[in-house]
Amino acid sequence: MKMSAKDLAAFLNAKIDGDPDVEVSHPSKIEEAMPGSVSFLGNPKYEAFAYTTKASILVVAEDFKPQQEVTATLLRVPNVYQSLGTLLSHFERNGKPFGISSLASIDPTAVLKDKVAISAFTIIEKNCKIGSGTVIYGNVYIGHDVEIGENVTLFPGVKIYAGCSIGNDVTIHANTVIGSDGFGFVMENGKFKKIPQLGNVVIEENVDIGSNCSVDRATMGSTIIRKGCKLDNLIQVAHNVEIGENTVIASQVGIAGSAKIGARCMIGGQVGITGHIYIPDGTQIQAQSGVMSVKEQANQKLFGSPAIGYNEYLRSYAIFKNLPDLENRIRKIEKSVEENKHNV
């Protein structure tokens, strides 16, 4: 889909500096842009590319003053990065599927609201409810009695098991599984016996989940991801976990069963969190930390394995990284003390 500078200016509430009729069909990075694309200048470090870019349209700040000739048509906006987000969202929507493929398998009892798009080879089981504007890519599986809100995007290969609930404006990327069984077993006569997992997963509104994640259903009750959470790729969320509002979690994090994570937490990559603990609101956990216990104190910073206070860890690290040298110094002191004993 092509848009003129005049169309984009109205869309972004921008002022035009150049040809209002020039057209673009896609966004590009400023250093790689070709004719027919729109790019942006948000960081002054990249200003040199503004004079060499081949982009047809360049989004810049209102107060941008070129030091050389710029061939691109300029769209002047109050906030470049906000405008970029709006622009990319527009092009993303235009690239999404439209309508319902004849190759999708949809149970007659499923209820689909208006403007739902479903691609080929998707399976939707009985009694599902899917909200308006939701987009479902190919090879998605949605089990029976699943409820999906409005403007949800499910990318290829997503699997949502029976009885789970997805709120409005949620995005789930490829091959993520929502509602698989929790890791529940009991030893009986020397063998592990499976404990039925009868709960579900509840994902509230405005949540983003990356690719290849697993969010397990609760044994009883619900595994809950609260509104505004952002999960990276390759994350394991175990049964009965609850993640608080607007918490962000980086890749390869593992959260064990029944852990409760507060609101606005920031969890770095490869963090391991043991089960049945509560992590207070605003906690920041450094990458590769192992969290076994936490003080009941909001806005703390943790580091290490097992994790301790961030500043405490740095002070400790300054010591234990020098332990070999300290050992040598102690041995020399001990040797000197022994020699002095013999000389007395």
What positions carry a catalytic annotation? 239
What is the length of the chain? 344
Chain-centroid distance of CA 60 in Å reads: 28
Q: Which one, of 262, 261, 258, 263, lies nearest residue 276 by Cα?
A: 258
Task: Tell me the backbone φ, ψ of residue 315, rounded to 5 degrees.
Answer: -65, -40
Q: Which one, of 41, 60, 37, lies nearest residue 49 by Cα?
A: 41
Instruction: Say if residues 190 and 209 touch (Cβ distance below 8 Å).
Output: no
Instruction: Say if residues 148 and 164 touch (Cβ distance below 8 Å).
Output: no
Q: What angle do CA 137, 140, 144 make, to 5 degrees?
A: 130
Per the DSSP assignment, residues forming a β-bridge with 178 are 160, 215
Give the tokens for residue 137: 């890519």
Specify the 3-state DSSP secondary structure of 105: strand
| Residues contacting residue 9 through CB under 8 Å, at least 6 positions apart | 15, 16, 20, 75
